[in-house]
């Protein structure tokens, strides 16, 4: 039987996400934008809650089209606040609009969100070698640097912990445990990093 990271061994939806998406290097601008919005929506909640609402989010937010979302006004926000299929948090919905506008500015300046975020790992995934979930940090110097830059460029709900969860999910880092069946196939995509103390608090699971 395939051995997975311990956080993905119960819910079938979580298992599919772990097996097919989490930690796989992602370079599609629109998919990266979708992930960024969903990571922000997760703040204070479990990732499985967001996963269960993802399809409804895609319908409610025009397929995560940044051009359309950037044009949302207060009337649209009120409409979304009445949609029980998404997380009805006004600050998070307003942040999605601000992030869509920031995304468009980043496209003009950097050519895309892909180039913008991958520069923080020099274009190659960081391959870690964790044996226990308790070893995985909640944030790293790279995620802190990404957070600072994104805030300066107008993004919201992009603290260092959210940015690290985004980096894990989008494959900028390989944080699968070395015992996980996904670790070795993905390790070939990146650069190994020596294990050392990070100085940051560990996280308890994956997103």
Complete edge-to-edge strand list for the sheet that includes strand 126-127: 173-174, 126-127, 191-192
Q: What is the DSSP string of 29-87?
A: HHHHHHHHHHHHHHTTS-HHHHHHHHHHHHHHTGGG-HHHHHT--HHHHHHHHT-TTS-
Q: What is the largest CA-CA distance in the chain?
A: 51
CB neighbours of residue 71 within 10 Å: 13
Catalytic position from the list 14, 22, 47, 72: 47
Q: Which of 7, 14, 17, 116 is catalytic?
A: 17
Catalytic residue among 14, 22, 34, 39: 39
- CA–chain centroid gap for 107, Å, is 18
Bridge partners of 176? none
Helices 47-60 and 29-42: angle between axes, nearest 10 degrees:
130
Residue 201 annotated to the active site: no
- Catalytic status, residue 130: no
Reply yes or no on whether 118 is catalytic. no
Supply the residues annotated as catalytic. Answer: 17, 39, 47
């Amino acid at each position: 039987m395939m051995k997975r990271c311990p956080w993905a061994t119960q819910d079938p939806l979580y298992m599919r996400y772990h097996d097919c998406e989490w930690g796989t290097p992602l370079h599609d601008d629109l998919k990266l934008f979708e992930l960024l919005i969903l990571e922000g929506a997760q703040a204070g909640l479990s990732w499985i809650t967001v996963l269960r609402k993802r399809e409804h989010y895609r319908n409610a937010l025009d397929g995560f089209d940044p051009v359309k979302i950037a044009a949302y006004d207060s009337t649209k926000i009120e409409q979304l606040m009445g949609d029980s299929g998404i997380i009805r948090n006004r600050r998070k919905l307003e942040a999605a609009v601000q992030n869509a506008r920031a995304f468009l500015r980043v496209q003009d300046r950097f050519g895309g969100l892909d180039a913008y975020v991958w520069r923080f790992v020099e274009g190659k995934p960081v391959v870690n070698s964790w044996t226990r979930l308790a070893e995985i940090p909640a944030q790293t110097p790279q995620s802190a640097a990404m957070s600072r830059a994104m805030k300066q460029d107008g993004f919201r709900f992009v603290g260092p912990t959210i940015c690290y969860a985004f980096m894990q999910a989008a494959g900028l880092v390989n944080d699968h445990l070395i015992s996980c069946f996904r670790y070795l196939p993905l390790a070939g995509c990146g650069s190994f990093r020596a294990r050392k103390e990070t100085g940051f608090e560990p996280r308890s699971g994956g997103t």
